[in-house]
Amino acid sequence: MPIRKYANARVTTRDSDYSVSDYSASSVYTETTNNIHSNSTVIQKDSVLQTDSVITDTVIQQPGDSVLPTLTKTLTRMHPRYKEGKAKRQNDPLSWRIEKILRRLRPMLSTENFIEVSQEFTTSDPMQRVALADKLEKWLESTLGG
């Protein structure tokens, strides 16, 4: 007997009554129709129903619109770099803020000014680092707009 790969898997033998037609295209489905004064025919479960209505609204769920943002967010959060960055931010928020500030300042400053700012961070005590980080974050927000 083969190993079942899924919880609802059936044993495939010659005597099995399982066939592909159990899940054919003519089984239950719904279509999107938005007709005014419609005399439409709707097929469900291999039977034909006549509908005479002013407005017929039957909704089908399209996976594209609602699933894409959730899928993108989930895939982003599963990425190893995202997990490492989140762990860094949670373990030591001050050093994470300082690294972020220095990354944003580097292209804006000359080499001498950047070294001076980074030395200021390394030589100051933690409370001064917080104050300096706050000042630089406000300045970067006003300069770069975000």
pLDDT tens digits along 108-122 = 999 999 999 999 999
Is the pLDDT at 40 greater than 70? The verdict is no
Q: What is the pLDDT of residue 47?
A: 47
Sign of CA dihedral 121, 125, 126, 132: negative
